[in-house]
Amino acid sequence: MLSSLFLFLDMTNKELAAQFKLLGDIMELHGENAFKIRSYSNAYLTLRKYPDAVGDLPESERANIKGIGKAINAKITELVETGSMQTLERYKGQTPSGLLELLQIKGLGAKKVRVIWKELGIESLGELSYAINENRLVELNGFGAKTQESLKQKLEYFQQSKGFFHYAYLYDVAEGVIDALKKNGPEQATIQALGTFAQQQVVGEQIELLVDFEINPSVLESLGFEGVDLTSNPSIYKSETGVNLLIQKVDKEQVGSVLLASSAWPEGKEPVISPDFATESAFFEAQNWAYIPASIRHLDFVLEQSKSGSPYPLVEQADIQGVIHNHSTYSDGMNSMEEMVQSAQTEGYSYMLMTDHSKAAFYANGLKEERVIQQWEAIDALNASLEGFTLLKGIECDILSDGSLDYEPDILKGFDAVIVSVHSNLNMDEAKATARIIKAIENPYAHILGHPTGRLLLSRKGYPINHQKIIDACASNGVHIELNANPWRLDLDPQWIPYAMEKGVQICINPDAHSIKGIQDIKYGVLAAQSGGLTKAMCLNAKSCSDFLQSLKK
């Protein structure tokens, strides 16, 4: 087992920032000095937005970063060198563990947790659930009936989501495991995703892998996994973050059969699989079917096409040509437009749509009309210096409460593409949310519907919508739909991709990048899109820049 020291040596800015946010929240629970709490909150924001790895910088260089004073700098050094922060550990020791769990519920916050702790003596999720059922929160300062009902729903969602992880996280952990096993295994070793993990669902409970050789447990221990049950098959390991890793060992001549048997197939159409297929391909060849990737074996129409012998043209990451939906320092992005373009070019893309926030998103430094004009001029100047790459003028335009868009037509018509998204007044019923979005879709200047439900996976459920009505409206109005590739969103949910394709609505796999690193989220969007059966032909940004723009014309 690795020591905590080793595990924390490479803490990311986001991980460092989380430590300061937690410290500020716990101090607020205890009613500590407001100035200190604010300094930790500011450190949290600074660390999250800083473009370089703060932990890798010399202490003297960190001292020059605005928002990191002497005390914060010392705590960063302590975290990097020891893996913990004494001040935080001291406060955690003084705080009931149940309250730390309550702080994880999005929308509750340290102030409200302090009120229910001090006024009602609540120190756990169970006690809070009971108090809500007994209607005890309505009279508390800052609560009321609506807040209590909203909190009830959030609490239920939080409890249902416990034990699950974003697929992107599981995917990245699995990549590290697979690389380590390959380096320490035989040359012709088989290591493949298995079961639900191979299906590329947006969230998951565990990583399942198949191998055809004996593994050395110390290899996994060196990655922070502890053996829970090494005598069974599959053997079970658990990481320090709670991820279960199941490794099933099979004989080489049965690899294909086991992988196929663990796949999800259309109900009632599960094929009969004998136990003697060494590879999955051998099974498909024996049936005279085209090969089907594990991620789409559950789709009936894919299975039927496979039986005809025609390979399914599933979208691949290499197909993506344009980086659509990006934010720069003009609104709430961390990097300049020049830096975003350079990164996109380096990663092999040929065009980018810059879509900073519109003016209603004041909290994200949304662009008023005069700043829109300034950005257009900057984009023109930047394009004049580019070769083989195009930066397009776009906006992520807020859908206002009544369904109208955030700019008048004289501004909207100047963009190459307009992504329309809901960011405010999220507490809507299905009828209101659906009508609001359809009105925006019917606007002649709307091109792409952004993150249709506003969900944050494992954190916020998202507002309910009638997906069929919204997809139908997009089909009628020539509007495309985003699959937001941020691992916390993956919205449009992949289950709706088949219906969208049936209606002729193209899906755009967008990173919603707020930094150069965010561009890399496209790969997670592609993985999600694949699980929904998205084809290259129906992926909007798998097209060239000219074809992308042509597809936007109504």
pLDDT (tens place) for every residue of the chain, 554 residues total: 233 333 334 678 888 999 999 999 999 999 998 999 999 999 998 998 888 889 889 888 888 888 888 899 999 999 998 888 999 999 999 999 889 989 988 878 899 999 999 988 889 888 888 788 767 887 788 888 888 888 888 887 887 778 899 999 999 999 999 999 999 999 989 999 999 999 999 999 999 999 999 999 999 999 999 999 999 999 999 998 889 999 999 999 999 999 999 999 999 999 999 999 999 999 999 999 999 999 999 999 999 999 999 999 999 999 999 999 999 999 988 899 999 999 999 999 999 999 999 999 988 899 999 999 999 999 999 999 999 999 999 999 999 999 999 999 999 999 999 999 999 998 899 999 999 999 999 999 999 999 999 998 988 889 999 999 999 999 999 999 999 999 999 999 999 999 999 999 999 999 999 989 999 999 999 999 999 999 999 999 999 999 999 999 87
What is the token pair recorded at 440? Answer: 């925006």
What is the token pair recorded at 529? Answer: 């899109």
Alpha-carbon Rg for the chain in angstroms: 25
Question: What's the Cα-to-Cα distance from 200 to each of 238, 242, 293, 498, 517, rounded to whole Å?
Answer: 20, 19, 11, 16, 22
Buried b (16+ CB within 10 A) or exposed e, 466-498: bbeebbbbbbebbbbbbbbbbbbbbbbbbebbb
Residue 244 to residue 264: CA distance in whole angstroms: 21
Residue 99 to residue 92: CA distance in whole angstroms: 10
Residue 126 to residue 473: CA distance in whole angstroms: 43
User: What was the pLDDT predicted at 459?
Assistant: 80
Residue 265 to residue 259: CA distance in whole angstroms: 12
Please name which of 492, 504, 510, 511 lies closest in space to residue 535, comparing C-alpha atoms.
504
Do the beta carbons of residue 1 and residue 221 sit within 8 Å?
yes
Residue 441 to residue 151: CA distance in whole angstroms: 31
- φ, ψ of residue 17 to 5 degrees: the values are -60, -40
Please name which of 162, 96, 151 lies closest in space to residue 129, comparing C-alpha atoms.
151
User: In sequence order, what are the residues at sequence separation of 6 or more whose Cβ sits closer than 8 angstroms to the Cβ of residue 426?
Assistant: 454, 463
User: What was the pLDDT predicted at 314?
Assistant: 98
SS3 322: strand
390 forms beta bridges with 351
Cross-sheet strand order for the sheet of 507-510:
322-326, 351-357, 390-398, 417-421, 448-449, 480-484, 507-510
Complete domains list, the chain, with CATH: 4-161 (1.10.150.110), 165-307 (3.30.460.10), 317-552 (3.20.20.140)
- φ, ψ of residue 160 to 5 degrees: the values are -65, -30
User: What was the pLDDT predicted at 277?
Assistant: 97
Query: Can you tell me which residue has the tokens 């001029």?
Result: 377
Question: What's the Cα-to-Cα distance from 311 to each of 194, 239, 383, 399, rounded to whole Å?
Answer: 22, 38, 39, 40
526 forms beta bridges with none
356 forms beta bridges with 395
Please name which of 298, 301, 262 lies closest in space to residue 280, comparing C-alpha atoms.
262
